[in-house]
Amino acid sequence: MQGELDNYDRRILALLQEDASLSSAQIAEQVGLSQSPCWRRIQRLKEEGVIRGQVTLLDRKKIGLNTQIFAEVKLNAHGRSNFTEFTEAMRGFPEVLECYVLMGSVDFLLRIVTADIEAYERFFFEKLSMVPGIQEVNSIVALSEIKSTTSLPVLRPA
């Protein structure tokens, strides 16, 4: 990033994380800037990659994705040499929302959503378990969601 974020930038980012449909005029009013400088700040934050994109967040349950699974994946020794093949496979599975490389007893943590347990079973046997190099998968079913956010804590405590 080119420069440090000041309080205006942080407040702009906090507002956009809550509602990306706000106009630059609405944001400017809330952060105490005029519209043009606010718009320029937003453009700079986009150019610098601080703002990676703007999306619409969906309620997964309202579109029939009722089951959330966390899968711990361990690769065999041969599988570790095919790290790129594994990561590309994960990127190609729409059911895998997140994939993290871990240090410790497992190599990856996946967050997977499906319609139900039967759909996860199909995904597991027809897709995930077919990826070369997987030694073990430990699937953990999330019963309920206590907190889920996409908002990063950009505002500094007062």
Q: Are 61 and 46 in contact (CB under 8 A)?
A: no
**In the block, residue with structure tokens 């046997």:** 125
Could you list the residue range(s) of the whole structural domain that residue 109 is in? 60-142
Task: Report the CATH number that the domain containing residue 32 is assigned in CATH.
Answer: 1.10.10.10
Which residues, 6 or more positions from 89, have their beta carbon under 8 angstroms from its beta carbon? Answer: 131
Q: Kindly give the confidence (pLDDT) of every residue in the chain, 158 residues in length, as a single tens digit, with 9 standing for 90 and above.
A: 456 999 999 999 999 999 999 999 999 999 999 999 999 999 999 999 999 999 999 999 999 999 999 999 999 987 677 888 999 999 999 999 999 999 999 999 999 999 999 999 999 999 999 999 999 999 999 999 999 999 999 997 75
pTM greater than 0.85: yes
State residue 79's pLDDT score.
Answer: 67
Q: Pull the structure tokens for residue 52.
A: 């990676």
Q: Are 60 and 87 in contact (CB under 8 A)?
A: no
Number of domains in the chain: 2
**Residue 64 domain-assigned (yes or no):** yes
Task: Report the CATH number that the domain containing residue 83 is assigned in CATH.
Answer: 3.30.70.920
